[in-house]
Amino acid sequence: MSRERETLVDELLMQSRVWSTETVVFHAAIAERRGLSAVENKVLDYLARFGPLTPKDLVKYSGLAPASITALIDRLERKGAVRRGPHPDDRRRVLVQLDGPGNDASLWDHLVGQVRARAERYTDQELRTVIGFLREAAEITHESTARLGDQGAD
> pLDDT tens across 13-27, in order?
999 999 999 999 999
Q: Give percent above pLDDT 70 in the chain.
A: 96
CATH of 3-121, one of 1.10.10.10, 3.40.50.300, 1.20.58.760, 3.40.605.10: 1.10.10.10
> pLDDT tens across 24-80, in order?
999 999 999 989 998 999 899 999 899 999 999 999 888 888 999 999 999 999 999
Give the CA radius of gyration of the chain.
Answer: 18
From 93, 96, 51, 88, select the one nearest 69 (Cα to Cα).
Answer: 96
Predicted pLDDT of residue 17: 95
Q: How buried is residue 75: exposed, middle or buried, by Cβ count under 10 Å (0-12/13-18/19+)?
A: middle
Tell me, yes or no, if the pTM score tops 0.85.
no
Judge contact between 34 and 41, C-beta under 8 A.
yes
What is the amino acid identity at position 99?
Answer: D
